[in-house]
């Protein structure tokens, strides 16, 4: 898990990765079936500072989400982000009973209070308040371990080469957004295959692997960061266009392409 070369983000371990993104739902998540995460146990590989992980746990109503990243300092930031996001969420009584415009009838109110699909209001507490007073403290884990923020955990690990305790129970969904290139460039074709096989093994029967592969034409800039990456890149035979075929060979069933967001940002 040690970083080979100081500040060079050879794992795609960018700091401030989400700083230019507005605090709205990640557009890649919007391409997925609406209920994909509801009530599910999810692993987010390469979670970086945990923004996507928290969105899956909070707005997309996963039962449990584990974010894993190779960079310990990003994982520390992710824990802080979890608290910041919690701070901005409406208190349960408000997010359960009151719509955004506060005009709901008492009948509907009662119905929403018992609905299992009630959604939190993520943007209730202004960021300016957090800047002035610091984030609100997270209540002790009491009743709802399956609700945000208690349903989120972060771990520092090279998930391609090391297991984490949470793997034992398995996952319903494994998410890998913008990480395959870094696994490929650091571990070569063998590392990438190990990753795909690990995902297959860690998924429960019927589980879903959500992969956002970076295109081959983005590898060039990445490999120029570091001599070792450049060396590894010379021997790569697998291309991202081969991933669908390879995933089927690993054992996955149907491969579905959900489209592109057209979103920029670092890869």
Ligand X SMILES: C[S@@+](CC[C@H](N)C(=O)[O-])C[C@H]1O[C@@H](n2cnc3c(N)ncnc32)[C@H](O)[C@@H]1O
* 78 is a contact residue toward ligand X (CB under 6 A): no
* 196 is a contact residue toward ligand X (CB under 6 A): no
25, 96, 146, 158: which one binds ligand X (CB under 6 A): 158
CA angle 200, 203, 208 (to 5 degrees): 90
* 167 is a contact residue toward ligand X (CB under 6 A): no
- Pattern 199-238, binding to ligand X, x per CB under 6 A? ----------------------------------------
* Secondary structure (3-state) at 204: strand
Which residue lies nearer to ligand X by CB, 52 or 152? 52
Selection from 43, 56, 58, 53 nearest residue 168 by Cα:
43
Helix (H) or strand (E) holding 207: strand 203-212
- Phi and psi angles of residue 92, each rounded to the nearest 5 degrees, phi first: -50, -40
* 71 is a contact residue toward ligand X (CB under 6 A): yes
Q: Where are the alpha helices (DSSP H) in the chain?
A: 51-58, 72-88, 92-97, 106-114, 127-133, 180-202, 219-223, 227-234, 243-250
Residue nearest to ligand X (CB): 46
Give the number of residues in contact with ligand X, rule: CB under 6 A: 22
* 177 is a contact residue toward ligand X (CB under 6 A): yes
Q: How many Å apart are CA 233 and CA 184, to the nearest integer? A: 8
* 74 is a contact residue toward ligand X (CB under 6 A): yes
Query: Looking at 46-54, 97-105, 196-204, 227-235, which segment touches ligand X (CB under 6 A)?
Result: 46-54
Which residue lies nearer to ligand X by CB, 48 or 151? 48
Length of the chain: 267
86, 182, 209, 219: which one binds ligand X (CB under 6 A): 182
Please report how close the Cβ of residue 86 comes to ligand X at its closest, in angstroms.
19
* 77 is a contact residue toward ligand X (CB under 6 A): no
Which residue lies nearer to ligand X by CB, 148 or 177? 177
Which residue lies nearer to ligand X by CB, 14 or 124? 14
Instruction: Characterize 133-159 residue by residue with b for buried, 16 or more Cβ atoms within 10 angstroms of its Cβ, and e for exposed.
Output: eebbeeeeeeeeeebbbbbbbbbbbbb
* 160 is a contact residue toward ligand X (CB under 6 A): yes
Cis amide bond preceding 221, omega within 30: no
29, 42, 43, 52: which one binds ligand X (CB under 6 A): 52
Instruction: Characterize 76-105 residue by residue with b for buried, 16 or more Cβ atoms within 10 angstroms of its Cβ, and e for exposed.
Output: ebbeebbbbbbbbbbeeeebbbeeeeeeee
Question: Which residues of this chain interact with ligand X, rule CB under 6 A?
Answer: 11-14, 17, 45-46, 48, 52, 68-71, 74, 158-160, 177-179, 182-183
């Amino acid at each position: 898990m040690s970083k080979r070369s100081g500040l060079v983000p050879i794992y795609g371990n960018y700091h401030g990765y989400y700083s230019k993104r507005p605090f709205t739902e990640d557009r890649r998540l919007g391409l997925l079936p609406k209920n994909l995460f509801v009530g599910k146990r999810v692993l987010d590989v390469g979670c970086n500072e945990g923004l996507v992980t928290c969105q899956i746990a909070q707005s997309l109503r996963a039962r449990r989400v584990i974010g894993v990243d190779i960079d310990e300092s990003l994982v520390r930031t992710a824990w802080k982000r979890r608290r910041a996001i919690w701070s901005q969420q409406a208190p349960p009584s408000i997010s359960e009973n009151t719509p955004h415009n506060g005009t709901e009838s008492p009948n509907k109110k009662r119905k929403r209070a018992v609905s299992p699909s009630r959604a939190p209001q993520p943007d209730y507490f202004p960021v300016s308040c957090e800047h002035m007073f610091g984030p609100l403290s997270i209540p002790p884990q009491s009743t709802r371990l399956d609700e945000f923020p208690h349903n989120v955990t972060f771990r520092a690990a090279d998930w391609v080469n090391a297991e984490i305790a949470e793997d034992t129970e398995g996952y319903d969904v494994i998410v890998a957004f913008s990480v395959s290139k870094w696994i490929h460039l650091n571990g070569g074709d063998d590392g990438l295959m190990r990753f795909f096989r690990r995902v297959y093994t860690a998924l429960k029967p019927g589980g879903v692997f959500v992969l956002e592969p970076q295109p081959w034409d983005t590898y060039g800039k990445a490999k120029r960061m570091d001599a070792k990456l450049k060396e590894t890149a010379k021997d790569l035979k697998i291309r991202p266009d081969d991933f669908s075929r390879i995933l089927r060979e690993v054992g996955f069933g149907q491969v579905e392409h959900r489209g592109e967001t057209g979103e920029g940002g670092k890869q």
